[in-house]
Amino acid sequence: MRTDLFASRHIGPRESDLQHMYQTIGVADMDQLIYETIPDDIRLKQPLQLDAALSEYEYLTHITELGKKNKVFQSYIGLGYHPTVIPAVIQRNIFENPGWYTAYTPYQAEIAQGRLEAILNFQTTVIELTGMEIANASLLDEGTAAAEAMALLFDVRTRDQKKNNANKFFVSEDILPQTLSVLQTRSTPIGVELVVGNHETIELTADFFGAIVQYPGKYGQIYDYTGFIANAKTMDIKVAVAADILSLAKLTPPGEMGADVVVGTTQRFGIPMGYGGPHAGFFATKEEYKRSMPGRIIGVTIDANGNRALRMALQTREQHIKREKATSNICTAQVLLAVMAGMYAVYHGPKGLQYIANKVHASAVTLTDALNQLGVYQTNTAFFDTIMVKADAAKIRPIAEQHEINFYYIDGETISIALNETTSIAHLNQIVNVFATALGKAPVTVTELSAQSQVPAQLERQSAFLQHEVFNSHHSESQLMRYIKKLERKDLSLNHSMISLGSCTMKLNAAAEMLPLSMPNWNSIHPFAPIEQAEGYQIMLKQLEHQLNIVTGFTGTTLQPNSGAQGEYAGLMAIRAYHLSRGDNHRTVCLIPSSAHGTNPASAAMAGMDIIVTKTTPEGNIDVEDLRARAIEYKDRLSCLMVTYPSTHGVFESSIIEITNIIHENGGLVYMDGANMNAQVGLTNPATIGADVCHLNLHKTFSIPHGGGGPGVGPICVNEKLVPFLPTNPIIPTGGDQAITAISAAPYGSALVCLISYGYIMMMGSEGLTNATKYAILNANYMKARLENHYPVLYSGECGRAAHEMILDCREFKQKGIEVTDIAKRLMDYGFHAPTVSFPVAGTLMVEPTESEDLAELDRFCDAMIAIRKEIETATAEDANNVLKNAPHTLAMLTANDWNFPYSREAAAFPLEYLSENKFWPSVRRVDDAYGDRNLVCSCAPIEAYM
């Protein structure tokens, strides 16, 4: 037996476990199980045509070699991406630490207080630097954050009767080009008209509802927007400002100029450029818009003892509830990157941030002076870190590139140079040298930074920020290391136990897949670097696209979307473009089964579609006759169907081919939500079932860690009909020959983490990937077999098999006063994170073990669930003082002198044997959701605020 095969490390169960597992399920072997699970007519007949699997060692050698084809130049390109210093203590203890990167979105607050606090720090940083009242826990990037600002302002305009028909949105010509492209994509389907122009000369009229300006402008010029905003206000026009977060340590914040929304990216707060992402976008606004705010908000509340606790606030606004009325589909965001950026602010504190901002500014002023002495003129009248100079680009560029320096060449005679935290005096001299050489002049030597300011007095920030203790305490490495560890210990991640989140596929994120992310040749490339400098990336990304085409059976892939939901939106926009290209402007109806994930209708709404919800049968399948009736009823207007396969109920519906045929016969296309792709890879594929496009969640099926709620990558794979419409980017063209405008800011989305999925596929190979699917199905059916005598399992296939996940029905326990939440909280006492609660069916748990869990871990979880079932037996509706209702139990409760519960301390905290040697303590008692929503506090308010 080969022991160097990565697949045998990735997949949990051992050869010697299989007989026992088959027996428990009641099958002879794997073949029988798969035969009984996946309908025969959709099974693939051939193995996936992928390269032979590499061992971990071979892969790391390969990726190091490939990385050498990426050229790390000094990057002064700017445009929203800057070199930054990742504090090593953050790199080692967060970025490279599975305790942080394998965590799930903090829905289970009691075992997530660490990352909740870290994100609260991020929100506070954003609120205080922007001068706004409220901020969210991150968005996908600056471009999409700007689009969310436009959508919010469009949504809230209806509160103002006069604005009901206003549909114009002013966009400053100084906006980043990629932001403009994302705004174009997002505005058209919802009926917003963009008007691009100069904010100083535009004549705003009553038919405008909003505007967005860039601060500083894309090539560095800073403007005081106070007058513009005040003028807009007189016409009830709301203004968003896209701002550079570092500049706000030095410049008057947009909030003080009267902005309604401030957005941007926190990349330069210690997040590597990574050829475009992932980075945390930010979004800050006023209290009055909190209920329209996209994404997640972390808020302060109290626990069952009245102690301060954190949680995700206002969850009712999630697209799961709003569905087709949602104005945003954001689900996965950029939590890990937000945690890092927030920690960067904690480490540097207000003084440190000011120091960095001042130094960057001083570098820009110094460079201006030196170039001036060479006769090179700088044209920005006020700037922070980016200067614009007049010079012959054709002369400068070759010399700069010889010296491994990238500027941004605006046109033949204009160059912009954006300086950054890493810029030293030596770097300034290199730049000066390039210009001197090109002009044939003797270089001027810079010896120290200028003390002059090029920021007009009224734009110099006066207000203090980040005065809270947390930003003024952890400035030594020992301190920060311990603070990070303290938070990490409060959180349950995959490095403690399995997280069996149905639909979310929390599988292994292997160390060998993660290591390359720390290599400078991969993480220090600017997304707009000339592509010949990014050959390693181009090869890796093309190869990954090719691999995903093979896995899905499709012909084209774009890696641009930064989440599954963004993939949905991208896919629907491609479908929209396809119909428009054929003159079928009226094809706008999107059929969505009622069991769909909330992002499906939300994405369809964003793509301007008319949503028709179709019925589900009592067995949980699509009601084919209802679907046929709707498809025929709307056949002249049918755009598409959105279908999840296997279904959100974890079943391979045997009628899928009939379903996709019905849609095609009536002129529509089929969008497959690929969140459940982990049950398909190598055994069937979206093309075979008749889909035209699907998204994949690389952060589910293809091993990118969940990061506590992001990053994500949501590529879409399409057949030849849709290839021409794959999205482009205004600076580095991508996509098809009739490409739609950008879906996200960077040409290849979150390119850096695409390495993880590439590594996963390279090391698994065809057989490994197919086995992963088989073992995922095996593990799920093993758990089903063990649990179904204790919990009713809702829905299964025709032979009684689950796919890769199953739904445990907990509704009957209500008779005993026990809700599904009580079970979720009680699992914490057993050291487990709850499975998915109440999706897709309220009052149930959806369990997905994945292939990475071994038999012992599956058994441990089953034992815990069975023990809890016995506890439920003894509960009564009349008496809520029981071990389930009081769960989770904290160390403070267990060690208190008083113990006033009708069960023992041991029953509370050590109900099963394994806990005595591996106990995880929830750090707070059950949190009060309603209290937190009534008293929304979403920043680190002073301690007195909680007294």
Nearer of residues 598 and 911 to ligand PLP, judged by Cβ: 598
Distances (CA, A) of 699 to 148, 265, 677, 678, 760: 23, 21, 11, 11, 12
651 binds ligand PLP (CB under 6 A): no
564 binds ligand PLP (CB under 6 A): yes
| Helix or strand holding residue 410 (H, E) | strand 408-411
Nearer of residues 490 and 804 to ligand PLP, judged by Cβ: 804
Torsion of CA 560, 561, 567, 571, to 10 degrees: -40
Q: Which of 108, 252, 423, 503 binds ligand PLP (CB under 6 A)?
A: 503
599 binds ligand PLP (CB under 6 A): yes
Per CB under 6 A, contacts with ligand PLP among 232-291 are none
559 binds ligand PLP (CB under 6 A): no
CB of 713 to ligand PLP, least distance (A): 8
Stretch of residues binding ligand PLP (CB under 6 A), selected from 18-26, 82-90, 563-571, 802-810: 563-571
Stretch of residues binding ligand PLP (CB under 6 A), selected from 11-19, 389-397, 436-444, 560-568: 560-568
Q: Which of 84, 563, 685, 773 binds ligand PLP (CB under 6 A)?
A: 563
Nearer of residues 108 and 332 to ligand PLP, judged by Cβ: 332
510 binds ligand PLP (CB under 6 A): no
675 binds ligand PLP (CB under 6 A): yes
| DSSP conformation class of 878 | T
CB of 596 to ligand PLP, least distance (A): 7
Contacts of 172 (CB under 8 A, 6+ apart): 196, 197, 198, 199, 211, 212, 213, 214, 217
**Token reading at 814:** 């209500």
Stretch of residues binding ligand PLP (CB under 6 A), selected from 557-565, 569-577, 749-757, 816-824: 557-565
Nearer of residues 48 and 641 to ligand PLP, judged by Cβ: 641
Omega before 216 within 30 of 0, i.e. cis: yes
Helix (H, G, I), strand (E, B) or coil at 769: helix
Alpha helix (H) residue ranges in 218-291: 226-234
Q: Which of 184, 328, 644, 796 binds ligand PLP (CB under 6 A)?
A: 644
Nearer of residues 435 and 569 to ligand PLP, judged by Cβ: 569
- Written as one string, the DSSP assignment of 688-730 is HHT-SEEEE-TTTTT----TTT------EEE-TTTGGG----S
CB of 782 to ligand PLP, least distance (A): 22
Per CB under 6 A, contacts with ligand PLP among 679-698 are 697
CB of 451 to ligand PLP, least distance (A): 48
Stretch of residues binding ligand PLP (CB under 6 A), selected from 562-570, 629-637, 779-787, 936-944: 562-570
Q: Which of 117, 318, 491, 673 binds ligand PLP (CB under 6 A)?
A: 673
CA pair distance 491, 91, nearest whole angstrom = 19
- Phi then psi for residue 671, to 5 deg, are -100, 120
CB of 703 to ligand PLP, least distance (A): 14
Q: In this chain, which residue has its C-beta nearest to ligand PLP?
A: 564
| Helix or strand holding residue 591 (H, E) | strand 589-593
Alpha helix (H) residue ranges in 563-669: 564-581, 599-606, 624-633, 656-665
Nearer of residues 78 and 281 to ligand PLP, judged by Cβ: 281
Nearer of residues 671 and 758 to ligand PLP, judged by Cβ: 671
The gap from C-alpha 392 to its chain's centroid, in whole angstroms, comes to 41
Q: Which of 565, 693, 704, 754 binds ligand PLP (CB under 6 A)?
A: 565
CB of 568 to ligand PLP, least distance (A): 7
Contacts of 11 (CB under 8 A, 6+ apart): 768, 771, 772, 775, 851, 852
Stretch of residues binding ligand PLP (CB under 6 A), selected from 540-548, 561-569, 759-767, 862-870: 561-569
| Helix or strand holding residue 418 (H, E) | strand 414-418
Rg (CA), the chain: 28
Sign of the C-alpha dihedral computed for residues 118, 119, 123 and 126 taken in this order:
positive
Nearer of residues 650 and 682 to ligand PLP, judged by Cβ: 650
- Written as one string, the DSSP assignment of 830-869 is TT----EESSSSTTEEEE---TTS-HHHHHHHHHHHHHHH
Torsion of CA 737, 739, 742, 744, to 10 degrees: -90
**Token reading at 633:** 């009823």
Per CB under 6 A, contacts with ligand PLP among 707-746 are 712, 714
In terms of Cβ atoms closer than 10 Å to its own Cβ (0-12, 13-18, 19+), residue 412 is exposed
Q: Which residues, in sequence order, are bridge partners of residue 718?
A: 556, 693
- Compute the residue count for the chain: 947
CB of 331 to ligand PLP, least distance (A): 3
CB contact at 8 A, 119 and 338: yes
CB of 598 to ligand PLP, least distance (A): 8
Stretch of residues binding ligand PLP (CB under 6 A), selected from 263-271, 421-429, 558-566, 619-627: 558-566
> What 3 state SS string does 16-69 have?
HHHHHHHHHHCCCCHHHHHHHHCCHHHCCCCCCCCCCCCCHHHHHHHHHHHHCC
What value, to the nearest 5°, has the Cα angle with vertex 70 and ends 66 and 72? 140
Number of other CB atoms surrounding residue 712 within 10 Å? 29
CB of 881 to ligand PLP, least distance (A): 37
331 binds ligand PLP (CB under 6 A): yes
Count of positions on this chain that bind ligand PLP (CB under 6 A): 16
In terms of Cβ atoms closer than 10 Å to its own Cβ (0-12, 13-18, 19+), residue 3 is exposed
CA pair distance 281, 276, nearest whole angstrom = 12
Per CB under 6 A, contacts with ligand PLP among 614-633 are none
Nearer of residues 400 and 689 to ligand PLP, judged by Cβ: 689
CB of 262 to ligand PLP, least distance (A): 24
678 binds ligand PLP (CB under 6 A): no
CB of 525 to ligand PLP, least distance (A): 24
CB of 764 to ligand PLP, least distance (A): 21
Nearer of residues 318 and 871 to ligand PLP, judged by Cβ: 318
CB of 91 to ligand PLP, least distance (A): 25
319 binds ligand PLP (CB under 6 A): no
Angle between helices 477-489 and 113-130 (to 10 degrees): 130
648 binds ligand PLP (CB under 6 A): yes
601 binds ligand PLP (CB under 6 A): no
Stretch of residues binding ligand PLP (CB under 6 A), selected from 186-194, 281-289, 297-305, 559-567: 559-567
Q: Which of 332, 547, 701, 939 binds ligand PLP (CB under 6 A)?
A: 332
597 binds ligand PLP (CB under 6 A): yes
Name residue 100's amino acid: W
CB of 591 to ligand PLP, least distance (A): 16
Nearer of residues 130 and 599 to ligand PLP, judged by Cβ: 599
Nearer of residues 587 and 804 to ligand PLP, judged by Cβ: 804
Interface characters, 462-501, with ligand PLP (x: CB under 6 A)? ----------------------------------------
765 binds ligand PLP (CB under 6 A): no
- Under the rule (CB under 6 A), what is the footprint of ligand PLP? 331-332, 503-504, 563-565, 597, 599, 644, 648, 673, 675, 697, 712, 714
